Amino acid sequence: MDDIRLLVLDVDGTLTDGGLYLDSTGNETKKFSVKDGAGLALARAAGIKVMILTGRESEPVRRRAEELHLDWCVQNCKDKAAYLAAFMKEEGYARQQVAYAGDDWNDLAAMELAGFVACPADAEEMVRRRADYVSPRKGGEGAVRDAVVHILRHQGRFEALVEQVYGAKG
């Protein structure tokens, strides 16, 4: 965990509660946790690049990634493992430099490429068994923030980054 330089995030069930909300006109909405956003701000301040990697395409996801100034937002990706393997090779990321947070079966193959794996409390059982860290929070309720805090505490940088980003001492 000391060398994490890239955090890869699933969306539905990880950054959100996994629900698909459609209004009467067919527009999709999603609920994101502000807590996850605060944690991702710390990750970025720590020099960790952040990628959304999701199998669906959604305007709310694009907008949230833009609001959080995430480095990459890859949507409609049907083979996450193949995409991530090619990305890691092209960008020069080694396994131990990559963290992955996901919640469902379609994340398992990509998780095998990461040196550190996290998931929400309500992730599928196979994912929880594979994870190095299982947040006590459900998807969309701060589980990603918990994973970021876990990584930064392990690296001994959490308190300094909270002070740097938020001007508060822990």
Two tokens, residue 79: 């083979």
Nearest-angstrom CA–CA distance, 121 and 137: 5
Q: How many domains does the chain have?
A: 1
Helix (H) or strand (E) holding 6: strand 6-9
Nearest-angstrom CA–CA distance, 9 and 3: 17
Range 117-148 burial, b when 16+ CB lie within 10 A, else e: bbbbebbbeebeebbbbbbebbbbbbbbbbbb
Domain that holds residue 146: 6-166
Please answer whether residues 110 and 53 qualify as being in contact, where contact means their C-beta atoms are separated by less than 8 angstroms.
yes
Q: pLDDT digit string (tens) for 11-32? A: 999 999 999 899 999 899 999 9
The count of residues in the chain is 170
Residue 122 lies inside a defined structural domain of this protein: yes
Q: pLDDT digit string (tens) for 141-161? A: 999 999 999 999 999 999 999
Residue 56 lies inside a defined structural domain of this protein: yes
Nearest-angstrom CA–CA distance, 39 and 42: 5
Two tokens, residue 146: 């918990």
Band of residue 168 on the pLDDT scale cut at 50, 70, 90: confident
Instruction: At 168, give phi and psi (nearest 5°).
Output: -125, 140
Residue 12 assigned as binding residue = yes
Residue 10 assigned as binding residue = yes
| Whole-number pLDDT of residue 170 | 62
Q: pLDDT digit string (tens) for 66-117? A: 999 999 999 999 999 999 999 999 999 999 999 999 999 999 999 999 999 9
Q: Rounded to two decimals, what is the model's pTM?
A: 0.96
> How deeply is 40 buried, as exposed, middle or buried, from its count of CB atoms within 10 A (0-12, 13-18, 19+)?
buried
Nearest-angstrom CA–CA distance, 170 and 168: 7
Residue 122 assigned as binding residue = no
Task: Tell me the pLDDT of the chain averaged across its residues.
Answer: 96
Q: Does residue 169 sit in helix, strand or coil?
A: coil
Residue 1 lies inside a defined structural domain of this protein: no
CATH number of the domain to which 108 belongs: 3.40.50.1000
The DSSP 8-state label assigned to residue 56 in this structure reads: S
The DSSP 8-state label assigned to residue 76 in this structure reads: S
Residue with tokens 């996850």: 36
Nearest-angstrom CA–CA distance, 104 and 122: 10
